[in-house]
Structure 1
Amino acid sequence: MTSLGVLGHDRYCDAIEVQVRQLRDVVTSDGVELSATVPTCPAWSLEQLLRHTGGALRWAELLVRKRVQEYTPDGNIPLGQGPEAEGDPAALDAWLAETGEMLVGTLREAGPDVKVWGWAGVLTSGFWARRMTHELAIHRADATLAAGLPYEVDPDVAVDAIDEWLGIVEFVQRTQPHDAAKELRGPGRSIHLHATDPPPELNAEWVVELTEEGVAWRRGHEKATVALRGPLTDVLLAFYRRLPLDAGRLEVLGERELLDFWLERATFG
């Protein structure tokens, strides 16, 4: 089971609010082409990515507002996927602004403990506050990279995004492993993530063990089969497969093959 995270419900709501505003800044930046291909999600244009992200936020908002208790496919919810007009930055910006206001308002009203269906073992509104924080963090990276803009994320959000990713991979690998995830099982292999720039109190280091029983992880500085070392934002993006390991901003120490093996197989399922 994943957790509600360590940042607290209000912090997640604040982070969603800020990140929606940052996503809107991408839409309205001079020279940004909504038809541009997203390099990290090449099946999508930038506009399709933004509509997908806004749709996910609206789906989560409806689940919490309606106190939904069982899985409801987003395709069965009449949310729409954005403004009727395509290629209109102003209309897309306004839709994203409304989306953020809806979600943050609903999450603040609900608090973290309302019972709501969730897909990673946590059945509360707090799960959706945390999940949408990191859905935004990663898809905002996709959008800013596609627009050729610099990407920044608050260090506490980046650290928690890695925590959440590892928790979800652990949950999926244990409860519903597909063929690729099953291959992660095995003795005597480990991965160390080491972010070099956050303040020490964030404890931005992780150890991931691939055991016969499944994936296990913890925070800490330990020797491992392979280590990924670099600035926190780059470690986050590499671990989410948004930044190539060979981009020149990260160090890989030890058995690179294990890290590649993990990145190919560690998914939501």
Structure 2
Amino acid sequence: MAPLAHARYCDEIVGLTDALRAAVGAGDLDAAVPTCPEWTLRDLAIHVGRAHRWAGEIVRTRATEELPDEQVPAFAPEGDDPAVLDAWLADGAAGTAAALRDAGPAEKVWSWYGRDRSTGFWARRMAIETVVHLADAALTAKVPYTMAPDLAADTIDEWLDIVAYAQAEGDPEAAELRGEGRSLHLHATDVPDAEWLVEFGADGFTWRHAHGKATVALRGPLTDLMLVFNRRLAPDSDRVEVLGDAELLDFWLARSSFG
């Protein structure tokens, strides 16, 4: 599966933020986020808004080095008024999407991901950042969460790439994702050909879209697979099925929890 079109990511940043704003508006801003227990719902919303504005400013200025927070305009909402927070979220998403549309996907800018230092990286990253944190907000506010299948699949793809990059860069947790003769299979039960095979080797792991017998398999609706893989849904949930060595899936989830 190839990444989605640049324009689609730009649209999703705005659309997903609208959904996140609705979830935040339906919840208690002081409630703890179950999947990010150190944050309240307000903290979560501010985190997403800051990520959008930071990435948008990198793109807008064509930054070639990491941008300090203090150089990002309106990096936090003023005061505690929920209406101000809502407008700040909307403005940040719209501004970032506009900067990305203006730049296109191929401009060179700084990113922490050494395999892709382009404006296209930031479009994808900010859309998927919002995919995952929308799930946090929906869970906290106890409102329904749905995700387009292609975006859910792309979220899994991107996370596998990030974990592989972290391993190559020497991250100590990701470095443990090795060991010959073991494998992990993700199989969506509601979307044809939405499957992933992660194979561990002596020097690390590789992944590909494939069907195959594995040490452990995770089966279920595609969105739920994505939520488990991003640690937003417990693998023992009745919404998914784990077949084989469940400890290997737990091993993966525990060592891909950075960031």
Cα distance in structure 1, aligned partners of 2:200 and 2:171 = 14
The answer to whether the 8 A contact 2:57-2:72 is kept is no
Q: Which runs of 5+ in 2 are unaligned?
A: none
Q: 2:55 aligns to what?
A: 60
| Structure 1 segment 106-255 matched on structure 2, within 5 A | 106-120=99-113, 121-178=115-172, 180-198=173-191, 200=192, 203-255=193-245
Cα distance in structure 1, aligned partners of 2:245 and 2:163 = 21
Change in CA separation of 1:268 and 1:42 when aligned onto 2, cut-off 3 Å = closer
1:144: Cα distance to partner?
0.7
3-state SS, counterpart of residue 21 of structure 2: helix
Q: 1:16 aligns to what?
A: 13
1:81: Cα distance to partner?
4.3
3-state SS, counterpart of residue 112 of structure 1: coil
Cα distance in structure 1, aligned partners of 2:247 and 2:178 = 15
Q: 2:65 aligns to what?
A: 70
**What one-letter code is carried by the residue in structure 1 that aligns with 2:116?**
V
The answer to whether the 8 A contact 2:54-2:67 is kept is no
1:72: Cα distance to partner?
2.9
The farther-off stretch of 144-153 and 208-217 is: 208-217
3-state SS, counterpart of residue 248 of structure 2: helix
1:71: Cα distance to partner?
2.3
| Deviations 1:30-59 (CA, angstroms, capped at 9, x unpaired) | xx2110110000000000000011000100
Identity of matched residues, %:
53
3-state SS, counterpart of residue 45 of structure 2: helix
The answer to whether the 8 A contact 2:53-2:75 is kept is no
Cα distance in structure 2, aligned partners of 1:78 and 1:124 = 19
| Deviations 1:132-170 (CA, angstroms, capped at 9, x unpaired) | 011000001001100011111111100000000001101
**What one-letter code is carried by the residue in structure 1 that aligns with 2:201?**
T
Alpha-carbon RMSD: 1.5
3-state SS, counterpart of residue 243 of structure 1: coil
1:78: Cα distance to partner?
4.0
**What one-letter code is carried by the residue in structure 1 that aligns with 2:151?**
V
1:118: Cα distance to partner?
1.3
Q: 1:26 aligns to what?
A: 23
TM-score of the aligned structures, taking structure 1 as reference length: 0.92
Instruction: Count matched residues.
Output: 258
1:245: Cα distance to partner?
1.2
1:174: Cα distance to partner?
1.2
Q: 2:45 aligns to what?
A: 50
TM-score of the aligned structures, taking structure 2 as reference length: 0.95
